[in-house]
Amino acid sequence: MTRVLTIALDGMGGDHGPETVIGGAEIALVRHPHIRFVIFGNETALRPWLEKYPRVASSSEVVHTEVAVSMDDKPSQALRRGRRVSSMWRAIDAVKEGKAQAAVSAGNTGALMAMAKVILRTIPNVERPALAAIWPTARGESVALDLGATVGADANQLVQFAIMGEAFARVVFNLEHPTVGLLNIGEEEVKGTEQVKAAAQMLRDDSLSMRFQGFVEGDDIAKGTVDVVVTDGYTGNIALKTAEGTARLIIGYLREAMASSLLSKIGYLLASGAFKTLQSKLDPRASNGAVFLGLNGLVVKSHGGTDDVGFASAIDVAVEVASAELVAKIAADVGKTKGLAVPSVKEESQLQESEAVLS
């Protein structure tokens, strides 16, 4: 029997708010008819879109909230203004209270990370969450993390990211022993920062039982050299935005080339199937949805500028990781490691989360 899952949605998050959220929920319900939603947001703003998509309305509970976190809010501002009353906070809190198995938001990433960490807290032996996403590659797909949650991770944190990323890859790719690589400026042991070199030494420890492949370079991400690519949030976010921009550039070039002459247009018609396949593989919406790993609950970040198709992909990710009980598997894996314990972080200090994370 299929398990009924409840997904909490931040109905006001992202550049397009309810239009994208409700439209994405409609697409997701077609793929996953067993899921239900709890949608948090302003009822007046949500109502027209719920009337447009009655299937979503009949499968959802709507909880009215007066406050919405702006895409321009700094994390500390969002925490103080939206604490316990915003649509973002209430969606995450639904996971903590057990009313939902995962929360999805297209809102401000820095605020989402700060709120998620304050509400859900990290699991034992994990200092900071990592933002992990599925990355299309030449041989299929890989997991990449961190993509923006932790800027300037130290060696311990990079090792924690590797452990969590490996667990994520086992769940989403159904792999027994995923390969793991540490992103660096070269494969040679002498290259890289001291943090990266120290993390590599720790990852070679046999007690981790990990298929660590050593250092990988930027072009190895697209090649799919390893199943899990580990880096800090600063480098990871730059790599992600560069890849997305390159994909859009290639699609733009193809469109221009195909419309440049009558012969090109005829050639496009003859090869339209192949071009559509290429476009679908390059479409960032198909791989939208990054998971904050290391928390006592599941929070999925959708790209703020996505449309309903992309938001539906983020819901797909939430359904998949919730069904696989990812949090329990990460906690078990991290619990097997030694020497990685970190001091507990007081809630008040979490209000000072780095404002350098992307928003």
More confident call, 289 vs 300: 300
Would you state the pLDDT for residue 41? 96
Would you state the pLDDT for residue 346? 40
Question: How many CB atoms within 10 Å of residue 163?
Answer: 26
Q: Is 345 exposed, middle or buried (0-12, 13-18, 19+ CB in 10 A)?
A: middle
Specify the DSSP class assigned to residue 206: G
Would you state the pLDDT for residue 302? 94
Residue 75 dihedral angles phi and psi, to the nearest 5°? -55, -45
Residue 106 dihedral angles phi and psi, to the nearest 5°? -105, 15
Q: How does pLDDT run across 250-278, given as a tens digit for each residue? A: 778 777 877 777 777 777 676 666 656 65
Q: How does pLDDT run across 30-56, given as a tens digit for each residue? A: 999 999 999 999 999 999 999 999 999
Q: Which domains does the chain have, with CATH numbers?
A: 1-127+294-359 (3.40.50.10950), 130-285 (3.40.718.10)
Q: How does pLDDT run across 194-206, given as a tens digit for each residue? A: 999 999 998 987 6
How far apart CA 274 and CA 279 sit, in angstroms, is 9
Write out the two tokens for 134.
Answer: 């599925």
pLDDT band at 186 (very low <50, low <70, confident <90, very high): confident
Q: How does pLDDT run across 306-337, given as a tens digit for each residue? A: 999 999 999 999 999 999 888 988 888 887 76
Would you state the pLDDT for residue 338? 54
Q: Is 47 exposed, middle or buried (0-12, 13-18, 19+ CB in 10 A)?
A: middle
Would you state the pLDDT for residue 206? 63
Specify the DSSP class assigned to residue 14: S
